[in-house]
Amino acid sequence: MESLTYVLESLVIKTIKALKRLLRYDIDMLLDQVDDFSAIVEDHRLASWSMRLHEELHNLAFIEEEAVTHRMKVLEDELKVLSKKKEELHLSNKDEIAILLAKRRNLARLEVKTKDLGEGLKKIIEDLVTTKKYKRALEDMQTMALDAAPDV
């Protein structure tokens, strides 16, 4: 696509050359060249319209570029906020994971203690059963001894 400057220069040069050619004619011949002059004017009008259209397109492109730049800035600011939140969540999760791991270690320690206490309780219950058995045996022996001792 040709640049606007090149198009304008070629149109201006074309118009100047056409006007120079017309100016070489005398007045009577100029009246015969009305169609040529009208064509020059029409070309000039189209060139002006084309130039305005190009300017408008450039303005629209500039406005669009500014809007995109602004939107990029807004998105970059949002990204900074989200990155900061992500980092805060990461640190928070890290702390919570450390707490959970500490609780898990405590739970494991308590489970071991519970198992040890359960085994100790079984031993105590076995000893209690044995003690009750020996107590009954002693009571039975005492009763037999007392029954045998009335003679004494």
Cα(8)–Cα(6) distance, rounded to whole angstroms?
5
Domain of residue 130 covers 4-151
Q: What is the pLDDT of residue 4?
A: 52
Over residues 101-144, the pLDDT tens digits come to 999 999 999 999 999 999 999 999 999 999 999 999 999 998 88
HEC per residue, 6-71: HHHHHHHHHHHHHHHHHHCCCHHHHHHCHHHHHHHHHHHHHHHHHHHHHHHHHHHHHHHHHHHHHH
Q: What is the pLDDT of residue 152?
A: 57
Cα(13)–Cα(103) distance, rounded to whole angstroms?
88
- pLDDT: is 69 or 2 the higher one? 69
Cα(126)–Cα(139) distance, rounded to whole angstroms?
20
Over residues 50-94, the pLDDT tens digits come to 778 888 889 999 999 999 999 999 999 999 999 999 999 998 899
Is residue 151 very low, low, confident or very high in pLDDT (cuts 50, 70, 90)?
Answer: low
Q: Are 43 and 14 in contact (CB under 8 A)?
A: yes
Global pTM reads: 0.44
Q: What is the pLDDT of residue 104?
A: 95
What is the number of domains present in the chain? 1
Look up residue 43 and give its two tokens.
């070309």
